[in-house]
Each structure stands twice: as C-alpha cells, then as structure tokens.
Amino acid sequence: MSEVTIYEVGPRDGLQNEKGVIATEVKVEFIQRLVAAGLPTVEATSFVHPKWVPQLADAADVMAALGDAGRDLPVLVPNERGLDRALELGVRHIAIFGSATETFAQKNLNRSLDEQFAMFEPTVARARAAGLDVRAYVSMCFGDPWEGAVPVDQVVGVGKRLFDLGASELSLGDTIGVGTAGQVKGLIAAFTNAGMRLDDLAMHFHDTYGQALANAYSALQAGITTFDASAGGLGGCPYAKSATGNLATEDLVWMLRGLGIETGVDLDAVVATSVWMAEHLGRPSPSAVVRALAG
C-alpha cells in the first residue's frame, strides 16, 4: 500500500483520563494544531455525561469555539441524549463505543453485552436518517482486566453486530494493550472470514506492554490502512485502570515514513504540538519519537 489514514484521537481518548482540568481554550487550540498538521480526521470530544468523564464536560463549548470547522470533526456519543447534543451543534460525524465483554459493558455503559445493542440501535438509526456518518468502536478486543483473554469469535460477533447497525467503519480496540502481533493478524483474519472487508476495519492500540507499534505493523501487513493514534501517546480509559497511553501519532508516522507510506501528516508540526501539550499537562510526552525529535 502507498497510503495510510491516521484517525487522531488525542483530544478525546488522549485527554479523557487526565485528572487536572484542562482549559477549554487549550483543548480548542490542541484540535486546531492537529488539523493544521495535516491529520485528516481529528476526534474532537465526547458528549458523555460530565459525571462519568468530567474532563470532557465542556464538549459543547469546545465545539462551539471551533465553529463551522468543528462540524466535520467526529465526536463520541454514548446514546440518544449525546446524539441530541451533537445534532444541536450541527456535527456531521459521530462515533459509538461498544464492548466485546460483559463486564466492561456493565462498567462503561451500565448495560449488559446484549443490552448495549438496544441502546445503540436507535442512536445509529437517527444519526443515519439525519445524514450523519457513524463510526463504531469495539473495546476489549484482546483482553479484559476482569475477564482475561477474550474469545475471538465473541469479538467478531460483537463487532459485526455494531457495524451492521449502520456504521461505515469498525475500530478494533486493544483497550488494555495486551495484544500481540500474532493475535492481531488472527483477529483481522477472523473478521474477514466472517465477511467484513479490510477497508471497513481500523485498529486502535494501546501501549501498555510496549507492543502498540509492533501491532500496528502486523495489522499493516494484514492489509489494514486506517489506524487510530494519539498525539504524544496520550490516553487511557477511566473505566479500565490498566489501559495506558495510545499508540503515539508521531511513532506511527515515523514508522510509516520509513516504509515509504504516505500519511499527509507534518511530523514536525505534530511533535511541536505534543511538546506544547506536555507543557500544559506538566509532564513529558511518552512518545519515543517526540522525545528524540524534541531533544
């Protein structure tokens, strides 16, 4: 392949687990810098109830500050109430976030594994009727901190059900970062054997065990061309304490550049943005490429 699409999740998945309050204007500038760096898709925020993710309580303010430019940026919506807020602001792209395991569905969605589909179905149907694009995430695809290893057929079953609600893309998440390169190839093969196209799949890796970049390379070899990543390697999950930072956008771009694969991303601009954000967070970026290039 000659091109790869990077789906930037730093402003949402990267910041959602931060304990200190990040000013709205900082979040807005973070998004604007990432867009200016050439990232084709930047997930801006989440319309989840502030009680559950306090860091993103200013979602509406962020989107309002972005103005018309923000309407083309995807936002995460947990349910129909979240969709209502997105529609009020004229958002054109939303994402839903499902679970491949029973325990995480209960903790993250307050629903059982089967009940989550009943919650998402009207949300997706209304979004599609309004002309919105819908992305679906499925979390805990390789391991769950409470249930351990997750059966591949269970992941495929949940993923296909989410996708078949009306999504245009399914992102497979290694939420706690336990996946390995061989498991990645096996899961992708299981999805294609179940009738899904490679173009319909994206991969979302966390770097808990230092495997995110190796897993991305494995997925690339298997034919995946869309990867979620977070500037500076920021990230985590409020409902899975073993979930650490995401695959760093800079590390992914550096690897792809070495393979001669285009992303359209200005690496220096993303590095500068991550250094800037690290200053606001009061700690250095975990990205190896950011540390190397920033000196």
SS3 for 122?
A: helix
The two tokens of residue 276 are: 């800037």
Whether 141 is a known active-site residue: answer no
Non-local CB neighbours of 209 within 8 Å, separated by 6+ positions: 177, 178
d(CA 229, CA 244): 13
Rg (CA), the chain: 17
d(CA 65, CA 1): 37
Active-site entry in 48, 91, 176, 237: 237
Taking every pair of Cα atoms in the chain, the longest distance, rounded to a whole number of angstroms, is 50
Burial code of 93-113, b = ≥16 C-beta within 10 A, e = fewer? bbbbbbbbbbbbbbbbbebeb
DSSP state letters, 26-56: HHHHHHHHHHHTT-SEE--EE---TTT-GGG
Catalytic residues: 237
